[in-house]
Amino acid sequence: MSAERRPGRCLYLLGPREVVLRVVELGPPGPGELLVAIDAATTCGTDVKVYRRGGHPRMLTVPTPFGHELAGTVTATGPGAEEWPPGCRVVVANSASCGRCRYCRADRENLCPELVYLNGAFADAILVPAPFVRRSLYRVPEGLPPERAALAEPLACVLHGIELCRPGEREDALVLGGGPIGLLFVATLAAGGHRVTLADPNPPRLAVGRAMGAAQAVEIRDRTRGAREAREAAADELGFTLAVDATGSVSGWATVIDAVRPGGVVSLFGGCAPGTTLPLDTHRVHYSELTLIGPYHHRPPNFASALDLLASERLAVAPLLSARRPLAETREALESMIRRETLKVVIDPAAG
């Protein structure tokens, strides 16, 4: 066995709530490829959805390596990728666009019809394919710990979502859902000078939201009255100027639409299950001139901005990383998120 070819562990998703840790052969990298030892990976709400459903309509098909938020160190370089020498600390975005189609040329790379995804963050190492090395690889800023660097992917999604909202100087914003993505929306909007209200049924998550910059925290006790409960916290009795759904539920989408004032902007950020539909008050949407947007994923500039923002320490992201587990305990990490005991878990391949 050569120095570039070695065994390593990788977590595979096999089906709904079914994962297995396998030993696989890693390397050597081919033309344009890199072998990256994973320093830290982080779990996310999308991982939980995929774990529970046993798949994702776009990102993966089982059986497959699992996990997509990671930071690591280059250990081997394939021909043509010498600009990333061994020892270089990197973050890999979990998608790569073609760079040629009409969407890529229009700076909408997230809608590229040839968009490919990279999974396998829950592992000792990952072989990074050439398209990701060319278009989706970033150096970790000096001094940025790997667990914070791994947050670049979800933060890039949030930055893209906020970018599409085109917020004014000081919005009165509602964020519905106190999971990791919702809390990143809270922190980012608050850091941008906006007044943010977080609404969620879970009091501990509301407390984290306050620590991350929320001006107000509203405990939603009844889903049927959620919009009314949230709207009562708005600065104006007519509702919020901006509302973001981070629940990925039909009831959440309905709540944020009902929570904005005339002229308001609604970000339907949380992705609902395939096949779901939403009854819509067309009269209100039209005559109140509401703007409804459905942000998806992120673009390369969002990823670069996310890394810069994390390195600047302007965001209070530490409360998100609520636990650390070795690679062999990734299943337990996901289950703890389902039980709402943790927000994001740092998976450390070097531990245990």
pLDDT in tens, 150-183: 999 999 999 999 999 999 999 999 999 999 999 9
User: pLDDT tens for residues 27-64?
Assistant: 799 999 999 999 999 999 889 989 999 888 788 889 99
| Model confidence at 106: pLDDT above 90 | yes
pLDDT in tens, 273-293: 889 999 999 999 999 999 999
**Where does the chain have alpha helices with state H?**
45-53, 102-105, 130-135, 146-149, 152-165, 180-191, 203-211, 226-231, 250-259, 282-287, 300-312, 330-338
Q: How confident is the model at residue 229 (pLDDT cuts 50, 70, 90)?
A: confident
Strand partners, 268: 245
Amino acid 232: pLDDT: 86
Indicate whether 352 pLDDT > 80. no
Instruction: For residue 231, name the pLDDT band (cuts at 50, 70, 90).
Output: confident
| Model confidence pLDDT, tens digit, residues 75-93 | 999 999 999 999 999 999 9
